[in-house]
Amino acid sequence: MIMNVNHGLKQLWEEEDGLGTLEMILIIAILIAVAIIFREQITKIISGLLDKADQKSNDFMDS
């Protein structure tokens, strides 16, 4: 009886089928949390980059 329990626990410990999915879910959750926390800073950076790109394209088209 104890051997069966030990064998079952050992198999449970070594089974890694769902680990990849769990890791991906945790990584995505962390990325979403970071994006929510730094939302304003990310928005400012992207707006600045888009403004610079717009300015450069206007300068190129004008000359």
pLDDT tens sequence across 27-62: 999 999 999 999 999 999 999 999 999 999 988 888
Angstrom distance (rounded) from CA 48 to CA 21: 36
Pick 63 or 44 by higher pLDDT: 44
Specify the pLDDT at position 23. 85
Specify the pLDDT at position 27. 94
Q: Are 37 and 43 in contact (CB under 8 A)?
A: no
> pTM for this one?
0.52
Angstrom distance (rounded) from CA 34 to CA 36: 5
The residue type of 56 is K
pLDDT tens sequence across 5-33: 777 767 766 666 666 778 889 999 999 99
Angstrom distance (rounded) from CA 40 to CA 23: 27
